[in-house]
Chains A and B, each alone.
Chain A
Amino acid sequence: MTEQTNKPYLGFGLGLRAEHYQDILERKPKNVDWFEILSENYMIDGGKPLYFLDAIRQDYPMVMHGVSMSLGSTDELDFDYLKKLKALIERVEPHWFSDHLCWTGVDHRNMHDLLPLPYTEEAVNHVADRISRVQDYIGRQMLIENLSSYITYCDDAMPEWEFLSAIADRADCNLLLDVNNIYVSSYNHHYDPIEYLEGVSAARVWQHHLAGHTNDGNLIIDTHDQDIIDPVWALYEETAKRFGAVSTMIERDGNIPELDAVLAELEHARAIAEPWYQD
């Protein structure tokens, strides 16, 4: 069922959060295979965050995940930002770096939110060109992540998975497929999430995010402050069936519980996915 690919596989990881720094250093939990860091939290000059980053990096592989590249913005690419990102990449030596398929502001403003793009040919060309320029500057391939979204535009000319795939193919980048985001957007926009999974190339799916969310009744909001719900676990199992071994991590950004609670969720992910992985 799965395509044979040469993509790297890191196992099961966690988003590194300040609340867990001390615990991780003291216990060095063996059931975490790797950590994902939020790049912007470490694009600073020094102090506690960089101290813990360097210390934990000695024990674990890492990947880097950003929120501010604003790949979809019609402002110029921010090369000051990219320069700092490149310096952090040289420091951390991550297996890969990623950002979102979104824009975060125009006219030199930053809304600090992951704003959705219209699914148009114009946007495909615009974003793919910018990803290519980023990859040329950084000197390596990147991953782009699908969003949770609450709106669709009247101008949309294709479903989200076609938009994502077209950009990945044109820019030759890989995908960070957030399973919770697919679930959230499919709920908010009334489509079948399986159709989404069938619309992306297994060879390009290098990483998964898993997270919790908040349902306000009409819309699901991607809050990352709750436990992962059963329908998201079920969708995650469908990804394992289709994409084979994909590095998977749990993203928790609010209402952060003790490390053991997140580790328990990570074990649950492992138990769901690993039976589907072929040797």
Chain B
Amino acid sequence: MTTLRELQLRFQDYLIGESEDIEADIVSTEDALAEHRLGAYYNAYRIRLIDCLAVDYSALQQYLGREAFEYLALDYLRHYPSRHPSVRWFGRHLPEYLRDLYQGEEREFLQELASYEWAQTLVFDAAGSGSLLQLQDMAQVAPEDWPLMTFEFKPAIQWLDLYWNVPPIESAIDNGAAVPAKQRGEFPQRWLLWRRELKTHWRSLEVHEAWALEQAADGASFAAICEGLLEWIDAEQVALVAAGFVKQWVGDQLVISLGKD
């Protein structure tokens, strides 16, 4: 098997730009030399993967412009060649790659934009949930069962903390609308993304809802969530506020079912 393997390694080295030794293995004809014939594969490899990144990171491409994006994509391809059978996963390291490419605030913005777009892809094809908890199901829960109530969330949820106002910028770019000015907050803002009836939705979370959601997703009971919320909310109001969060999550179709701690 050495011969076939060596041939394939030489071909692949050519495609990734490491060696031109494969040219000696290829037949040239009068109308097309080996170099020209191999070039079809060399170019197709790059174009296909640049186009794949441009789909997953369409806002980043439009923000940077096609030329700068292609330069970035080619460099990314050199550093993170695809190792997955599906091209779907080729772009997963781009946010990490951007950390090493740019400096300062521009790096932070680009990385946050890329992270946000990648999170959208994860929400797009995450596992479905079958039946979801409905608001009328909540009415069936007896008052004495509320404290130990826990929540199972659907898989098609992502959240990330962003200093920049990335989601409205991404949305405007995606819809061809006027792009709002870039703004950086003093503290990161948590953004929630979820899929509802095949469409991806997003909204920002106040810090106490962000904490409550994270705890709930981690299996905390309603009582434990209320206790933690006391850091932000008065004791008299805390159960009402927490119940409001639960109502919002159920209404947004984030919750599959209830459990008991």
Contacts and interface: CB of A to CB of B under 8 A. Distances in A.
A123 B4 CA distance: 7
B26 A68 contact: no
Contact of B125 (A46, A112, A219): A46
Contact of B36 (A43, A70, A154, A219): A219
Contact of B40 (A44, A110, A111, A150): A150
B240 interface: no
A49 interface: yes
A219 B32 contact: yes
Interface string A18-56: 000000000000000000000010011111111100000
Contact of A113 (B5, B45, B83): B45
Q: Is the interface of A mostly helix, strand, loop or mixed?
A: loop
Contacts of B52: 112
Contacts of B36: 218-219
Interface string A50-65: 1100000000000000
B173 to A, nearest CB: 21
The DSSP consensus for interface residues of chain B is: helix
A155 interface: yes
Contacts of B81: 109-110
B1 A126 contact: yes
B37 interface: yes
Interface stretch (A99-107, A167-175, A230-238): A99-107
Given A48-B198, A151-B26, A74 B1 contact: yes
Given A51-B198, A152-B26, A110 B8 contact: no
A115 B26 CA distance: 13
Contacts of B49: 112
B40 A219 contact: yes
B88 A44 contact: yes
A198 B156 CA distance: 52
Interface stretch (B9-17, B59-67, B181-189, B205-213): B9-17
A46 B155 contact: yes
Interface in B17-41: 24-27, 29, 31-32, 34, 36-38, 40-41
Contact of A106 (B12, B27, B48, B126): B12
A73 interface: yes
Given A44-B88, A45-B125, A111 B37 contact: no
Contact of B155 (A45, A108, A109): A45
Nearest to A69: B85
A40 B25 contact: no
B27 A122 contact: no
B142 interface: no
Interface string A221-243: 10000000000000000000000
A188 B140 CA distance: 71
A122 B1 contact: yes
- Of the four ranges (under 10, 10 to 19, 20 to 34, 35 or more), the interface on chain B belongs to 35 or more
Contacts of A47: 124-126, 128, 156, 195, 198
B45 A151 contact: no
B1 A111 contact: no
B230 interface: no
B215 interface: no
Contact of A151 (B5, B34, B48, B124): B34
A204 B11 CA distance: 31
A78 interface: yes
A112 B32 contact: no
B136 interface: no
A238 B84 CA distance: 39
A190 B28 CA distance: 12
A107 B11 CA distance: 12
A155 B25 contact: yes
B101 interface: no
Given A74-B4, A115-B11, A153-B26, A110 B85 contact: yes
B37 A150 contact: yes
A65 B215 CA distance: 43
Contacts of A46: 125-128, 155-156
Interface of A: 40, 43-51, 68, 70, 73-74, 78, 81, 103, 105-113, 115, 117-118, 120, 122-123, 126, 150-156, 188, 190, 218-219, 221
Interface of B: 1, 3-5, 7-9, 11-12, 15-16, 24-27, 29, 31-32, 34, 36-38, 40-41, 44-45, 48-49, 52, 81-88, 90, 124-128, 155-156, 195, 198
Given A40-B87, A105-B12, A112-B48, 10 more contacts: A44-B88, A44-B125, A47-B124, A74-B5, A109-B82, A110-B85, A150-B38, A154-B26, A156-B27, A221-B40
12 contacts: A45-B125, A47-B195, A47-B198, A51-B198, A68-B86, A73-B8, A103-B8, A108-B83, A120-B3, A122-B1, A155-B7, A218-B36
Please name the 7 residue pairs, one residue from A and one from B, whose CB atoms are nearest each other, closest first: A46-B128, A45-B127, A68-B85, A74-B5, A47-B125, A44-B125, A46-B127
